[in-house]
Amino acid sequence: MAILALGINHATAPIALRERVAFAPEHTPDALRDLSTLPGVGAAAILSTCNRTELYVDHEPGSEHTALGCLDRFHGLGHAELLTVSYRYQDEHAVRHVFRVATGLDSLVVGEPQILGQLKQAYRIAQDARTLSGPLEQLLQRSFSVAKTVRTETRLGANAVSVAYAAVRLAGQVFDEMPKRQALLVGAGETIELVARHLLGAGVRRTTVVNRTLERARALADRIGGQAARLADLETHLADCDILVTATHGNDPVIRADAVKRAFIGRRRRPLFAVDLGVPRNIEAAVGDLDDVYLYTVDDLRNVVEEGLRGRREAAVQAESMVSLHVEEFMAWWRERAAASTIVSMRKRADRARSDVLDRAIKRLHNGATPEEALEFLSHALTNRLLHRPTVGLRSAAALGDEEFLEFASRLLALEPLNSSE
């Protein structure tokens, strides 16, 4: 059997096509069972995310294109359309690809950690569908440990590569103990939600979402376990917060310096970390001139993000080298596994020959042969039985002039060359 990785991703296909090829989790088990019944296909797993859909299969050589039939049946896409946007990796190249996917080296944002969780989910779904076994199962298991090792020994995922994450990372540098801090988020869009989730991961004690539309503020607050407030009450919440992040659409600042001054009465010089992610800006520039205020704009964070991307690119070089080493280890294990099955088959055949010859020698003893005669028969018969097929093969190779085969057989059997006088 061989291993095949076949798929499309953000680099090969537009989102409209990726959406058509995606598998919903509830449909994946049926697709896996369908895939595993295709001619030449053994074990199978499917990874499907917003940026990629990939099929991983054990298959018989020569059946590389049959996996596309799974996409044909489930999504109504023809071979011709898929072939122009898909990629196929075989054996060692497939192993390398899976390891790179698990570590985030093949992601749209290099080093992003979500893909590993998605790959683990694909593994569990395939296990539950009973379509995972053998080298493919071992490959996915190894990919998890490779990803963990790469993230532990490199800084591939350590740098901020989004403004939302950069904002929270900077807040952590200002405040030593994030679980003691209170955050105030102005806006309820995607950017603010990303900030909220990063703050949640950092363990911030309380998060308040303020928005012009209270219903939207409540919807986001419910998703993150925070609280919602009206925009009219913004100044009240300014007095309590340690971290302020804004991302709203509007031409005029939502937060002005005089409002912050009033909110600071009684704060006793407690610092305020403020991040303005709005374009145009949501926080009046004069706020940054106030004592104990650390104000960052989206441009400031873009510099942090660019530094993070450079750091990840540098770490990616080290990560690629580590992946190469793990690919070599896996391929060595795979080759040894193939050799092991050959060795088992050879030993079983030799044992059958031994058992048959032994039975015949015992019968000779029962028929009156002396022990010496029975042993002599056993040794000659066993030698002839074990050497018959190799002898036939060597004679055939010699007749064909196959010097390469003869040289390999000599090394395999550890034969010493005979002297010309012998």
On whether the CB atoms of residues 207 and 226 are closer than 8 A, the answer is yes
Sign, CA torsion 220/221/225/226: positive
Catalytic residue of the set 11, 15, 50, 362: 50
On whether the CB atoms of residues 99 and 141 are closer than 8 A, the answer is no
Peptide bond into 25 cis (omega under 30): no
Distance CA 117, CA 112 (A): 11
Q: DSSP for 51-79, please give it.
A: SEEEEEEEE-TT-GGGGHHHHHHHH---H
Distance from the first to the final alpha carbon of the chain: 45
Instruction: Show contacts of 27-34: CB within 8 Å, 24+ apart.
Output: 27/74, 28/122, 28/125, 28/129, 29/125, 29/128, 29/129, 31/70, 31/74, 32/125, 32/126, 32/129, 32/131, 33/129, 33/131, 34/70, 34/73, 34/74
Active site residue 70: no
Distance CA 315, CA 129 (A): 37
Place of tokens 């005669």: 373
Distance CA 253, CA 158 (A): 33
The number of CA neighbours under 13 Å toward the Cβ of 90 is 10
Distance CA 126, CA 141 (A): 12
Q: Which residues are catalytic?
A: 50
